[in-house]
């Protein structure tokens, strides 16, 4: 499962990983990562909610390169980093670097 790879990368940098269907009500969130293949419906209003709950979090969405409409919808919703799954996968090794 891809989530287990994301969990491993996060935990390798000492971060807690939580797989959730919605944004938890916690102010200590450092990263919000949305899988557009399964959660594309959450992008609308996400940036506003992140601004209220976790304004310092880095927000990223990824999805299959063939689902252009979902990638575009995420960009239109103001998500600052929108990449294909392949791009996300390639960046996973350095995504949670403790230097961030």
Q: What is the largest CA-CA distance in the chain?
A: 34
Predicted confidence band of residue 26 (pLDDT cuts 50, 70, 90)? confident
Question: Which domains, ranges and CATH numbers included, belong to the chain?
Answer: 2-20+28-95 (3.40.50.2300)
Distance, in Å, from the CA atom of 44 to the CA atom of 42, rounded to the nearest integer, reads 6
Residues 27-77 pLDDT 10s: 899 999 999 998 768 899 999 999 999 999 999 999 999 999 999 999 999
- E-state strands within the chain: 31-35, 58-63, 81-84
- Beta sheet of 58-63, edge-to-edge order: 31-35, 58-63, 81-84
Q: What is the per-residue pLDDT for 99?
A: 47
- The model's pTM is 0.88
């Amino acid at each position: 499962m891809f989530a287990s790879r994301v969990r491993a990368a996060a935990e390798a940098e000492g971060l807690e990983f939580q797989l959730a269907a919605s944004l938890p009500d916690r102010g200590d969130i450092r990263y919000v990562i949305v899988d557009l293949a399964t959660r594309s419906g959450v992008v609308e209003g996400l940036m506003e909610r992140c601004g209220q709950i976790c304004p310092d979090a880095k927000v990223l969405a990824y999805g299959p390169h063939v689902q252009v409409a979902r990638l575009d919808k995420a960009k239109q919703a103001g998500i600052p980093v929108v990449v294909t799954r392949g791009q996300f996968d390639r960046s996973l090794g350095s995504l949670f670097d403790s230097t961030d």
